Amino acid sequence: MILATLFICFFLSGSAALLYEVVWMRMLTQIFGSSAYAIATLLAAFMAGLALGSYIFGRLANSARNLLRLYGILELGIGIYGLLVPVLFRSARGVYIPLFWLYDSYPTTFNLLLFLLSFVLLIFPTFLMGATLPVLSRFFVRSFSHLGQRIADLYATNTLGAVLGCALTGYYLIPALGMSRTVHAAAMMNLVIALLIFVVDGMRAAVGVNHAPCSRSAARQDQDAFSLGQFVDQQSERRVELARAAWRRAAHMRIVLGLRGAALIV
CATH code for position 59: 1.20.1250
- 131 in Cβ contact with 57 (< 8 Å): yes
For the chain, first and last CA: distance in Å? 40
Torsions phi, psi for 100 (to 5 deg): -65, -25
Residue 216 carries which DSSP code? Answer: G
For residue 94, the model assigns a pLDDT of 76
pLDDT in tens, 105-157: 887 887 788 888 888 888 999 999 999 988 888 887 764 556 667 778 888 89
Please report whether residue 211 resides in a domain: no
Question: What size, in residues, is the chain?
Answer: 266
Number of domains within the chain = 1
d(CA 77, CA 191) in angstroms, rounded, equals 8
Within 10 Å of residue 156's Cβ, how many Cβ atoms?
14
Torsion of CA 204, 50, 189, 81, to 10 degrees: 110
- For the chain, the C-alpha Rg in angstroms (whole number) is 20
pLDDT in tens, 34-59: 667 778 888 888 889 999 999 999 88
Q: Residue 264 burial (CB < 10 Å; 0-12/13-18/19+)?
A: exposed
Please report whether residue 214 resides in a domain: no
Q: Per the confidence metrics, is the pTM higher than 0.85?
A: no
pLDDT in tens, 150-202: 778 888 898 999 999 989 998 999 999 988 899 999 999 999 999 999 998 88
Please report whether residue 213 resides in a domain: no
Please report whether residue 247 resides in a domain: yes
Please report whether residue 81 resides in a domain: yes
Domain limits at 182? 2-205+221-265
Please report whether residue 58 resides in a domain: yes
d(CA 75, CA 195) in angstroms, rounded, equals 9
Please report whether residue 216 resides in a domain: no
Look at residues 18, 10, 4 and name the one whose alpha carbon lies nearest to residue 185.
18
The better pLDDT of the pair 213, 133 is held by: 133
Please report whether residue 184 resides in a domain: yes
Within 10 Å of residue 85's Cβ, how many Cβ atoms?
22
